[in-house]
């Protein structure tokens, strides 16, 4: 993994934590945004976990995770689901909450969201995980879960710009 890079986008100072053709991970304040085109695998997850843990050391109020799942991403298989659960458990020392956004409209996206909700209900992680279909709703959820501990620069516009940047980067690869 390359060292974290600081990116200036409009008035946002983003930290790039990891970046690959299939996955990107940026941070703004105490929110870490990850976007994946495919389920994370055993090669990517340790890098992601280490980046979250290192970044979390600088944020004693705790981190919020915003996980953006591309509408065309296939569902994870059993080994990937187990690895994702283990990764979420590993980062719980620095994470206070997570919101998973399944991008897209229609039946397929709604079905993916429903499956994620059921998996999350059956999984003991140590912090709340919510599922939604858009960044605006995810931002509201993060504000509610983090309360006054959420970085002041985080709003719908900021997180939407980050999501757009991630989509553009992944399309360009």
Ranking 5-9, 25-29, 119-123 by mean pLDDT, the lowest is 5-9
Q: Provide the domain count of the chain.
A: 1
Tokens of 9: 């986008």
Q: Which residue's entry shows tokens 């710009």?
A: 161
- In whole angstroms, give the CA distance from residue 138 to residue 93: 22
Tokens of 105: 């409209």
pTM: 0.88
Residue 76: its pLDDT value, please?
84
Is the pLDDT at 47 greater than 70? The verdict is yes
- In whole angstroms, give the CA distance from residue 54 to residue 106: 37
Residue 167, SS3?
helix
- Higher pLDDT: 101 or 109? It is 101
Tokens of 48: 């992601």
Rounded to an integer, the average pLDDT of 93-115 is 89
Print the domain residue range for 105: 5-172
Tokens of 172: 């360009």
Is the pLDDT at 6 greater than 50? The verdict is no
Residue 3: its pLDDT value, please?
40
Q: Which residue's entry shows tokens 């992601």?
A: 48
């Amino acid at each position: 993994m390359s060292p974290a890079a600081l990116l200036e986008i409009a008035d946002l100072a983003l930290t790039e934590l990891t970046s690959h053709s299939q996955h990107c991970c940026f941070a703004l304040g105490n929110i870490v945004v990850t976007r994946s085109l495919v389920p994370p695998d055993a090669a990517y997850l340790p890098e992601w976990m280490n980046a979250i843990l290192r970044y979390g050391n600088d944020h004693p109020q705790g981190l919020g995770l915003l996980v953006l799942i591309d509408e065309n991403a296939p569902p994870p298989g059993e080994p990937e689901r187990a690895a994702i659960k283990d990764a979420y458990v590993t980062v719980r020392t620095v994470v206070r909450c997570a919101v998973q956004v399944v991008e897209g409209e229609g039946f397929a996206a709604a079905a993916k969201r429903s499956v994620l909700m059921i998996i999350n209900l059956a999984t003991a992680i140590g912090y709340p995980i919510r599922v939604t279909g858009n960044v605006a709703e995810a931002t509201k959820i993060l504000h509610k879960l983090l309360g006054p501990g959420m970085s002041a620069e985080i709003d719908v516009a900021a997180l939407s710009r980050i999501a757009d940047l991630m989509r553009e980067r992944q399309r360009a690869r």
